[in-house]
Structure 1
Amino acid sequence: MDSRSAIRRRVPSQARGRLKVECLLAAAGAEMARQGYAGATMCGIAGRAGAAVGSLYQFYPHKEAIAEVLRERYTTAAAPLWAQLRAAAPRLPAPALAARLVQLEFEIDRTCPGFAALLDAPRTEGSARRRSQFRRRIAAVLRAWRPRLGAPRALQHAAVIQQLLRGMLSLPAASRRAGWQDFEGILARYLEDRIGDLTT
């Protein structure tokens, strides 16, 4: 773990400061989405926000600190989407569930700028917890889809699906758009072959 992730950042107490932080974070997400995590710089983020780079450093001592805040925000923002899919899962055939899983990741990436780029950010204290949370969300969908699926097996299948979805997001944006149907097909076959026979 990079010790830099433990450095505390300044938290604004006034509305004006909070608004500035929101602008900086929005700019950071947009800059990472455009340049990639490695290509995004503190100067680039500040410039996109129309702020002095010194202002950015007042709140975030380094890019890793910004990435950590964005990852936490995006994990929280995704929760309602996963809840909706879990509720819909019992009514879906395997191909439709596969499509919804892929589309959910695209929707998160669309509404959370820089989401895919953040996969390249260094691991921090919260990384393992977020990966586990993501895996549990997938497992909950699988168990809603096939209630006879036990929790340990659901987590094992979720780990495979997690890697597939993360692999999809790690591709360049153009490749993701061109190949999304291939990912849906691979995932649908996995669901049908490995879990689909566990009917209620």
Structure 2
Amino acid sequence: MPSQKTSPPARAPQRKRGHERVASLLSAAADTFVEKGYDAATMTEIAARAGASIGSLYQFFPTKEAVAQALMGGHAEALYARIGQLTARAAQWGNDELAGQLIRLFVDFRRQQPSFVVLTEVPASVPKGEALTIRMRIRDELIGLLSGRYPGLPTAQVRAGATVVQYMMKAAVALHAETASTARTTAQTQLRRTLWLYLDDLANA
């Protein structure tokens, strides 16, 4: 298995045409990873799907790991932006609505970005340190949301709250992946209510 520690980084494009080519290559990679799975996908298939030469792909991404890291980085930035959008609107909502928005955020994002799911479920696709960095950045974004929504809440409680919210959002994703059933629907409702009540506790702390 290729070593993630020695995998050379992707080369950043310098011109508009290069940016467009990289975007096309990453889109093709995302589709290939979803269709084939990360392990089975090849650089040749990614280049062919993008309508590019293999040399063009290697020009920007010397390894499949570099492709995956660039793709995951883009997904992560998009996810941070979505949390930021919630942060900007959180003051407008009651805790019930905020709970629903938080629960749906991860679920909707993973459904709309299936390659994000593929990469997060294959540890070899993203270096362990980078995966940890993404998780911690998500938590920092949630800290910003909660501190803005509940001003005056002690820092320690904000940090603990962000951790709880993050794990509840992950639970919502895992629950959504189960086969649709009355039990799943009931559990989803209960999870949202649990987060709502938890946010009420934070508000009154």
| Shorter-normalised TM range | 0.7 to 0.9
Aligned residue identity for 1:129: T
Matches within 5 A, 1:114-129: 114-120=115-121, 121-129=125-133
**Match for residue 149 of structure 1 among 145, 150, 153:** 153
Aligned equivalent of 1:73: 74
Equivalent pair of 2:147/2:153 in contact (CA under 8 Å) = yes
Distance 1:180 1:124, change over 3 A: farther
Point out the more displaced range, 19-28 or 88-97: 88-97
Task: After superposition, give the CA deviation of every residue in 1:117-176 in whole Å (9 maximum; x if it has no partner).
Answer: 2212332543332211100112222233333432222222322332343355467x8648
- Aligned pairs for 1:22-37 (under 5 A) are 22-37=23-38
Name the SS of the counterpart of 2:151 in structure 1: coil
Q: Is the 8 A contact 1:23 1:49 kept in 2?
A: yes
Q: Which amino acid aligns with 2:62?
A: P
User: What does 1:50-61 align with in structure 2 at a 5 Å threshold?
Assistant: 50-61=51-62
> How far apart, CA to CA, are the structure 1 residues paired with 2:174 and 2:91?
29
SS in 1 for 2:203: coil
**Alignment partner of 1:197 is 2:198:** no
Task: Kindly tell me the number of residue pairs found equivalent between the two proteins.
Answer: 197
Q: Deviations over 1:42-83 (max 9, x none)?
A: 233223212333432232122221121122222222333222
Q: Which runs of 5+ in 1 are unaligned?
A: none
Q: Aligned partners of 1:181, 1:22: CA distance in 2, in Å?
A: 41
Task: Give the TM-score taking structure 1 as reference length.
Answer: 0.77
Query: 2:99 matched to which residue of 1?
Result: 98
State the TM-score, normalizing by the size of structure 2: 0.75
Q: CA deviation at 1:18?
A: 2.9
What residue ranges of structure 2 are gaps of 5+ in the alignment? Answer: none
